[in-house]
Amino acid sequence: MKKRILTGDRPTGPLHLGHYVGTLANRVRLQDEYEVFLVVADYHALTRDQEKAHIVATRQFSRELVLDYLAVGIDPDKTTMYVQSDVPSVCELHLLFSMLITTPRLDRVPSLKEVMDAEHIEQPTYGLLGYPVLQAADILHVKAHLVPVGKDQESHIEVTRELARRFNFLYGQVFPEPDALIGDVPTLPGTDGKSKMSKSVGNAIFLSDDAKTVEQKVRAMYTDPTRIRADIPAEPEGNPVFAYHDAFNQNKAEVEDLKTRYRTGKVGDVEVKKKLAAALNVFLDPIRERRAYFAARPKLVDEILAAGIAKVRPISQQTVDDAREAMGLGKAQSSVDSQQ
């Protein structure tokens, strides 16, 4: 039997270049080797925003997310995609896991503080503190072995591993201890020079942006603020424009030439950015084409998500039954009834 992958994204906006290098490329690459599950994490989106209008908007984003998956090359015949709240048995596992971890441990998860800062949250809700516990339930209700994520989520997978270990120690072997798989670029910086491109911060180039938008965003990108003229030698390291060249420009000789001239004060930012916008558009063109193809078939997304529910629900229920039995709770009555 193939080992399983589970990973996913919050439906809080379109996917961007950071997602591609951080996790999407690995998901596409491993579709044959693993049985892959992608969760559209709409419960997780509630940790940020509880306003009804925004919750309703996540439903549209969920569909867009599936289109983004298809556009980068996720094959619906190989990969299972589903919306988290369509498989609510994950909540039961979340509750069981929540008894096995302390709040000080969750307080120490580094992304918590980062999210609170970025989103101007003064006190975390119970749900936000439990973000990595719900993520552990997502991963472990399909007993996944591998979780392709960006570097910012590595600490969450550590929580998953601890929960699996703790559960297995107390009640017997039920869960695998999954590994995180970090992408080629662990964290892609934002167009504003901030350390991480994020869909909700306004510093992202989206996979669905058209060529003109990409050119505009690149032109406005943050570069070395001390370099006020093209003849000032400067270091490409730490400059997001060069980070994107490294990640997406297939013409490696061009990248090396630009870096050499940058170091010696022989190239202007305008040229470096023009070449970057062109390279990004070469990278994005086939993604845009596939997206348009699938967007013209709106029923397809419904079918994919319905198939996802049908596949994941029984797996999830079986895992919850396994966990309950191991703990001594016994199978839930509804689960016993449905088997008679």
Of 26 and 80, the one with the shorter C-beta distance to ligand ATP is: 26
Nearest distance in Å: CB 185, ligand ATP = 6
Residue 68 CB, nearest approach to ligand ATP (Å): 11
Sketch the per residue contact string, 16 through 35, with ligand ATP: x for CB under 6 A, - otherwise.
--xx--xx------------
Place of tokens 């996917």: 15
308 binds ligand ATP (CB under 6 A): no
Token output for 41:
């994490």
In the chain, which residue ranges form alpha helices assigned H by DSSP?
17-19, 25-29, 42-45, 52-72, 89-98, 103-107, 110-118, 126-129, 131-141, 154-171, 211-219, 240-248, 252-263, 269-295, 298-327, 333-339
φ, ψ for residue 6, nearest 5 deg: -130, 130
Q: Which stretch binds ligand ATP (CB under 6 A): 123-131, 192-200, 270-278, 282-290?
A: 192-200
Among 4, 5, 6, 9, binds ligand ATP (CB under 6 A): 9
d(CA 198, CA 17): 10
Choices 52-60, 85-93, 191-199, 309-317; region in contact with ligand ATP by CB under 6 A? 191-199
x/- map, 121-160, ligand ATP, by CB under 6 A: ----------------------------xx-xx-------
Tell me which stretch binds ligand ATP (CB under 6 A): 9-17, 32-40, 253-261, 325-333: 9-17
Strand partners, 83: 40
Question: Among positive and negative, which fits the CA dihedral 311, 154, 322, 100?
Answer: negative
Sign of CA dihedral 13, 16, 22, 28: positive
Enumerate binding residues for ligand ATP (CB under 6 A).
9-10, 12, 18-19, 22-23, 149-150, 152-153, 187-188, 196-200
